Amino acid sequence: MSNLSLFPDRLKELIFDNGQMTSYELAEKVGVHFTTVNLWLRGEILISLANAVKLADLFSCSLDYLAGLSEVDRKVPARPLEPFYTRLRAVMKSCGVTRYRIAKETEYKDAYFTKWSRGSNPDLITVIKLAQYLNVSLDYLVGRTDY
């Protein structure tokens, strides 16, 4: 599943399991406005990769679990991450996939790679699709785990 339909439920579950913090408290911890948290909880807006990583770090869970791609709530500790594009290039190299090939075989054309190389971060749905294309976990793709 790559449409993030389970994300709101997973987020509610994680909030409940961690002491039922309010939208205000969660927003403060993640660094967003509380209305953004409420929109995530209702599934009305896509979450950015940066904010998804903040949530996963806060709850010590995998991005795959948070996004609803895994049923296993694997504990993944927070660690410093390199820029998305840098990590993507390393994973592409280890998978033997070029930027040209991804651009040719997916909806992510070269302009996306240029934006990412300049520091722009994708939304979580884009990262899910790239991870599925590369056949790796979200956490591996962004550098939260080494597997």
Q: Which residues of 49-87 are buried (b: 16+ CB within 10 A; e: fewer)?
A: bbbbbbbbbbbebbbbbbbbbbeebeebeeeeeeebbeb
Contact between residue 141 and residue 130 where contact means Cβ atoms under 8 Å apart:
yes
Give me the numbers of helices (H) and strands (E) for the chain, helices first please. 10, 0
Do 7-66 and 84-142 come out as alike in CATH topology? yes
Proportion of the chain in helix, strand, coil states, percent, rounded to 5: 60, 5, 40
Q: Which residues pair with 75 in a beta bridge?
A: 61
Looking up tokens 């979580």 gives 124
Q: Which residues pair with 48 in a beta bridge?
A: 123
- Quickly name the fold that domain 7-66 has: 434 Repressor (Amino-terminal Domain) (1.10.260)
> Tens-digit pLDDT profile for the chain (147 aa)?
456 889 999 999 999 988 878 999 999 999 999 999 999 999 999 999 999 999 999 999 999 999 999 999 889 999 999 999 999 999 999 999 999 999 999 999 999 999 999 999 999 999 999 999 999 999 999 999 998
Domain boundaries, the chain: 7-66, 84-142
Query: Which of 1.10.10.10, 2.60.40.3880, 3.30.479.20, 1.10.260.40 is the CATH number of 84-142?
Result: 1.10.260.40
Collect all residues with Cβ–Cβ distance below 8 Å to 49 and sequence separation of at least 6.
Answer: 84, 121, 122, 123, 124, 126, 127, 142
3-state SS class at 2: coil
Q: Is the pTM of this model over 0.95?
A: no
